Structure 1
């Protein structure tokens, strides 16, 4: 195990533990007041991932890799539990056992997919079995393009219907990212023949342009929501949450681009 293992582990846990913590809050806000058991479980998960986040922030690049490996195992366990909680909630909603609650089924599925992604990443890091670069480029983009498409749909549905221009923009991004996802799935099904450097380079460039546009739209929406300048039922933290995930995707695209073209790859902790 190496410095790269420590750096990558801390980057992933610092980012995703905060995301899991915030998922707990968003799910809680969508439950009905009588759903006390679900609210209590969400509160417990919030506390668990806040503690994980704090521990991750206290580690440094000088921390013993074996300590980080054990920490990753603990985090993996916690993520498995929150994944199961999210799938339980999704089942309750789809069986119409939470009528009047405000969590979209797609949103609950979305946050469970992110938990599963985080859990798999921790396993890969601890086993030292990260995917080869060409596979990782396609698989990560398939995952994150769907996440971005979902975000656009959530924004569209949580804005007040009278915010017609913003709703139209969000719907445009939804359609754009659905198309990008279909293209990524096509590249996925064509592999390994599709995994040439020119094709993957163009794939990353195209996605970067669209993700930057969506990131900027999310930033504008976040700033307007925080300033109470638009009508919506979007929590300000949710607006910032989806902005940070777009930023994270852009960092991943840049890391892939650097790896593909032989440039130095930096692990960043500032997002």
Structure 2
């Protein structure tokens, strides 16, 4: 169990610290030139999460669980700090105190991921290693909403002349909105909905849609890197959203294993 706590903690930090660092970069690229203080703060977060990534090399699967718990607390503080920064920028944007190329939904989206990251570290330190049926549904609501957001961002950042790709992104946005509503409905039916067959079907349906979106993102990433489509999408952003879809598939796999072990 101690070994599982260590490996899961390091895996979460490895994946999400990179995501947080990239969020800070994307936000800094979206600000106006005169938003110097906000750009400077974003750079501080890039440096902070780079430092955390470097610290990861000090640990491995055999590390002392107490040291990992302390590291989780340290990274939790960093996740909370970047969450607060993103919410501050969202407030400035909604009050029209700043004008930038960072959509309010993007700011909200990235802050939800920071909150999720912090919560995962807290749960691990509390010894919550096995997901409950309720947790499985809630985590799917979270990730399905991320995938729906990604589809909307892709559709808005593609050049309008890329009509076919824009239409595909809109279709994915619609599909994932429907899956979000379906997951929310299932969540509100708890605990009656927490049955093995329903959860199995729920995860299977989500997997099919996420695989399709993951493949679309992979193609888009390759086309962007090869300069074969017209868009405002940074190549790193294309890779970033692809990795998050892969992460969701990895989590669905973990949930299916945990459901299987219950029987």
Superposed pair shares fold, TM > 0.5 = yes
Distance 1:144 1:242 in 2: 12
What residue is the counterpart of 1:269 in the other structure? none
After TM superposition, give the deviation of residue 131 of structure 1 in Å.
6.4
What residue is the counterpart of 2:245 in the other structure? 246
Distance 1:98 1:246 in 2: 31
After TM superposition, the structure 1 = structure 2 runs for residues 107-146 of structure 1, keeping only pairs within 5 Å, are: 107-130=106-129, 132-146=131-145
What residue is the counterpart of 2:2 in the other structure? 2
Distance 1:115 1:132 in 2: 20
Distance 1:40 1:131 in 2: 40
Residue by residue over 1:71-99, the C-alpha shift from the partner in whole angstroms, topping out at 9 and shown as x without a partner, is 00100111111010000000000001112
What residue is the counterpart of 1:72 in the other structure? 72
1:260 equivalent in alignment to 2:263: no
What residue is the counterpart of 1:266 in the other structure? none
SS of structure 1 residue aligned to 2:203: helix
What residue is the counterpart of 1:28 in the other structure? 28
**Poorly superposed stretches of 4+, deviation over 3 Å:** 129-132
After TM superposition, give the deviation of residue 57 of structure 1 in Å.
3.9
Q: Which deviates more from structure 2 when the two are superposed, residues 59-68 or residues 128-137?
A: 128-137
After TM superposition, the structure 1 = structure 2 runs for residues 129-208 of structure 1, keeping only pairs within 5 Å, are: 129-130=128-129, 132-208=131-207
The size of the alignment, in residue pairs, is 262
What residue is the counterpart of 1:237 in the other structure? 236
Residue by residue over 1:234-268, the C-alpha shift from the partner in whole angstroms, topping out at 9 and shown as x without a partner, is 000000000000000000001111111129xxxxx
Residue by residue over 1:92-116, the C-alpha shift from the partner in whole angstroms, topping out at 9 and shown as x without a partner, is 00001112x1000000000000000
Distance 2:39 2:200 in 1: 45
After TM superposition, give the deviation of residue 58 of structure 1 in Å.
3.7
Given that 1:86 and 1:109 are in contact with CA atoms closer than 8 Å, whether structure 2 keeps it comes out as yes
Q: Which deviates more from structure 2 when the two are superposed, residues 127-136 or residues 66-75?
A: 127-136
Distance 2:164 2:8 in 1: 40
| Structure 1 unaligned residues grouped into runs of 5+ | 264-271
Over aligned residue pairs, what C-alpha RMSD do you find?
A: 1.1
Q: Scaled by the length of structure 2, what TM-score is found?
A: 0.97
After TM superposition, give the deviation of residue 130 of structure 1 in Å.
4.8
Given that 1:156 and 1:170 are in contact with CA atoms closer than 8 Å, whether structure 2 keeps it comes out as yes
Change (3 A) 1:196 1:213: same
| Structure 2 unaligned residues grouped into runs of 5+ | none
What residue is the counterpart of 1:222 in the other structure? 221
Distance 1:262 1:82 in 2: 36
Change (3 A) 1:179 1:57: farther
Change (3 A) 1:41 1:105: same
Given that 2:160 and 2:166 are in contact with CA atoms closer than 8 Å, whether structure 1 keeps it comes out as yes
Distance 2:166 2:158 in 1: 7
After TM superposition, give the deviation of residue 137 of structure 1 in Å.
1.1
What residue is the counterpart of 2:84 in the other structure? 84
After TM superposition, give the deviation of residue 224 of structure 1 in Å.
0.3
Distance 2:46 2:211 in 1: 30
Q: Scaled by the length of structure 1, what TM-score is found?
A: 0.95
